[in-house]
Amino acid sequence: MLGFAAAVFLLIVTPGPGVLSTAGVGAAFGFRAGLAYVTGLFVGTNLVALAVVSGLAALVLGSPLVRTVLLVASTLYLLYLAARIALAGTKVAFIEARGRPGVRAGLLLQIINPKAYAVNTTLFSGFAIFPDAYMAEVGVKFLILNLIWIPIHLGWLLAGAGLQRLDLAERTQRAINIAMALAMLGVVALALRSALG
């Protein structure tokens, strides 16, 4: 269960469309205005998780080949994200928010967010907690996922709101990107360890 919680933390805290846009909304519009957007992301995240669990769970659990293909696909995507972040140079890789997004924008982003599908596929197809009680495992995973997801996204929103007041040196911005990329690689290592162990 600790491996699962660590993977959830690393998968969610590292940059993807959800957290990057959350920071961007915070930087552009402030914390209070960004709460509606984060609410939409939260609902969208849970809808994506339900879609993965209800639509793909039987295939993933019933076919080692499908499970391996999904693990490889999600691992490759996470490696791609880590490379993009690490190579972003001296600009912190936040997505700039151009309009004031609300609940609907957050919900729609998660529905089309490939990282959300990759993350949920990795989390719900790997990291067996109760191998003989799948529904209990899904319930516990949803609980852990949401208990970690909420404070992380509120933290990114706060960071974005505070970032607009900071004038970070290029070296600091580069270090932030490298740390985020290393966290993403940690997730890949945890997922592979869980799948092979």
Residue 105: HSE in the Cβ half-sphere, 13 Å Cα cutoff: 17
* Residue that is written with structure tokens 């596929």 in the block: 121
Amino acid at 49: A
Give the Cα separation of 7 and 114 in Å (integer).
17
Contact 50, 183 (CB under 8 A): no
Residue 140 scores a pLDDT above 70: yes
**Tens digits of residue pLDDT in 76-117:** 766 776 676 667 555 555 555 455 778 988 888 787 776 777
How far, CA to CA in Å, does 95 sit from each of 67, 88, 119, 164? 32, 12, 19, 13
pLDDT-based confidence at residue 142 (cuts at 50, 70, 90):
very high
Task: Write down the pLDDT at residue 97.
Answer: 46
Domain that holds residue 74: 2-196
Domain total in the chain = 1
pTM: 0.69
